[in-house]
Each structure stands twice: as structure tokens, then as C-alpha cells.
């Protein structure tokens, strides 16, 4: 189930108060969405992420948000999407979207029904950037060039994680998961990141790792326990200071 972050983080509290004040007009949107038949999420948990403290643009009223949502649904279905227009519409609906997502208990399916652009790799990455003001791929590029073997080993450290990475195609994963063919991910014929019914093929493991952390943030999903330390290290390297580093993560960071 999605749950609110408790008070006590000044930056988050200020950002949340600011957004509530400015988006009061969009509350009916969230209220109506709660009665549209969306099912409760299971098998995963989510936490509110930090809202950016710089403006992406003016906040839109309910009617405008509704029109933009309609545009996004239609544009994503086109054979030749206009990704520039999609990005603009996602920027303009950002505050309403995050407010809606953190106030309701939603499945990934329900979120992507309303915002189908969040099924696209490019927009998942942009959503992380909207939330953190950081580019995950760029932030991790140099780090992963030198530490990719170690990071991937940490991600695959748990037997359960290794098993999930090689499960049969069509298996549903309840948190963002890197999957590949065979035993050697670096020489695999295909590398993908999967989350529930979203499956995105990427060019290599580096892109898979950065997309995986973006997925966690885009859908407000708590880090799975077996990968929490590694993902918090990646956060730190990107320049995001949100998840408290555990003892082993602190040791790793201090060795960089």
C-alpha cells in the first residue's frame, strides 16, 4: 500500500505544504479518481519522494489537467509520437500527478492508465529528473564505468534476486527488476527492466541499472529490502540525498 511519509523532514514538509496550497483546486480530481474502480496495490509499498523545490512551470487547474491527460492518452497511442509535446504535457501535469499519486492507493496499472507516458523509458527517466533535478544516467555514467562489476554483483547478491533475473518471459515482477538471458548479463542477447506489466528493453546493464532506480522513483515504490543498500549508494552517487545510508553502504561510499 502507498503511505505518507511522516513529518520531520523540513525540506519535504515545506515542499508538501507549498504544493497542497497551490493545488487545492485539484483535490476533486483525486477524490473522483478514488471511485473509478481502481484496485488497491498488493505486494509492494511506496513512499512519498521529495518534490522539487524549483518550478517546472505554473500549476494547472483541474480542467486543464484533464485536457492534458486526454492529450497524453491519445498521443502515446500514435505510431509516431511527438515526444517533445509529451514531455511538455507531462511537465505541466507534474504537480497534479504527484499530488494524486501520493494521496491515493494505486496500482501501476491504474497510474499508467491515466498517464500512459510512464510506460515509456524516456518519460520514466524524465520523471526521476522532475522529482530530483538529477539525470540518473548521466550521474551514474562515470561511476558505473569503473564500478559496474561491483554494483551488479551487489544487486545480484541475494539468491532470490538472481533467480528473478532469469525467470521465464511473462513473469510479473512486483518491484523494478533487471532481467537478462543466460548467466552472464554483460554478454546477454537481451537486457530488460521489468515492473509488473511494464517491460522495457535497454542497450546494456548500465542503462538497466539507471532505469531501474528511475522506475522506483517514478512509481513511488519503496526499495526492495535485498537491494536497498545498493540503491541508496546509487542515489548518493547521482547526487540525491533522500535514503539514509546503512552501515555497509556508508563503508562503500567512504571507499570511493
Q: 110 or 20: whose pLDDT is higher?
A: 110
Q: Give how far Cα 72 sits from Cα of 34, 68, 84, 164, 254, Å.
A: 21, 6, 12, 33, 44
Residue 38 has pLDDT above 50, yes or no: no
Could you count the other beta carbons within 10 Å of the beta carbon of residue 124?
Answer: 24
Could you count the other beta carbons within 10 Å of the beta carbon of residue 254?
Answer: 8
Residue 59 has pLDDT above 50, yes or no: yes
Could you count the other beta carbons within 10 Å of the beta carbon of residue 156?
Answer: 18
Q: Tell me: the pLDDT tens digits for 213-246?
A: 999 999 988 888 888 888 888 888 898 888 888 8
Query: Domain spans of the chain?
Result: 2-119, 136-254
User: What confidence score (pLDDT) does residue 222 get?
Assistant: 87
Residue 1 has pLDDT above 80, yes or no: no
User: What confidence score (pLDDT) does residue 193 get?
Assistant: 94
Residue 54 has pLDDT above 90, yes or no: no
User: What confidence score (pLDDT) does residue 180 get?
Assistant: 84
Lowest mean pLDDT among 79-93, 98-112, 189-203: 98-112
What gap in Å lies between CA 118 and CA 207, rounded to an integer?
17
* Phi, psi values for residue 41, rounded to 5°: -75, 150
Q: Rg (Cα) of the chain, in Å, rounded? A: 18
Q: Once rounded to an integer, what is the mean pLDDT over residues 189-194?
A: 90
User: What confidence score (pLDDT) does residue 10 get?
Assistant: 52
Amino acid at each position: 500500500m502507498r503511505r505518507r511519509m511522516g513529518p520531520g523532514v523540513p525540506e519535504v514538509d515545506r515542499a508538501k505544504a507549498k504544493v497542497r496550497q497551490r493545488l487545492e483546486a485539484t483535490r476533486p480530481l483525486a477524490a473522483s479518481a478514488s471511485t473509478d474502480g481502481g484496485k488497491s496495490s498488493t505486494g509492494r509499498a511506496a513512499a512519498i519522494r521529495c518534490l522539487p523545490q524549483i518550478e517546472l512551470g505554473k500549476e494547472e487547474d483541474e480542467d486543464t489537467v484533464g485536457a492534458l491527460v486526454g492529450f497524453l492518452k491519445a498521443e502515446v497511442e500514435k505510431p509516431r509520437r511527438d515526444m517533445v509535446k509529451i514531455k511538455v504535457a507531462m511537465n505541466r501535469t507534474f504537480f497534479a500527478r504527484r499530488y494524486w499519486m501520493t494521496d491515493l492507493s494505486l496500482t501501476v496499472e491504474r497510474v499508467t492508465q491515466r498517464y500512459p507516458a510512464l510506460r515509456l523509458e524516456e518519460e520514466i527517466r524524465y520523471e526521476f529528473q522532475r522529482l530530483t533535478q538529477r539525470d540518473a544516467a548521466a550521474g551514474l555514467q562515470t561511476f558505473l564505468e569503473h564500478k559496474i562489476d561491483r554494483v551488479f554483483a551487489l544487486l545480484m547478491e541475494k539468491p532470490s534476486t538472481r533467480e528473478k533475473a532469469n525467470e521465464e518471459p511473462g513473469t510479473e515482477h512486483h518491484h523494478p527488476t533487471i532481467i537478462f538471458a543466460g548467466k552472464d548479463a554483460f554478454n546477454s542477447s537481451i537486457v530488460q527492466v521489468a515492473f509488473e506489466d511494464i517491460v522495457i528493453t535497454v542497450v546494456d546493464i548500465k542503462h538497466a541499472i539507471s532505469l531501474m532506480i528511475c522506475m522506483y522513483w517514478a512509481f513511488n515504490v519503496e526499495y526492495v529490502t535485498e537491494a536497498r543498500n545498493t540503491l541508496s549508494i546509487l542515489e548518493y552517487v547521482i547526487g540525491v540525498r533522500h535514503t539514509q545510508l546503512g552501515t555497509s553502504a556508508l563503508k562503500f561510499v567512504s571507499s570511493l
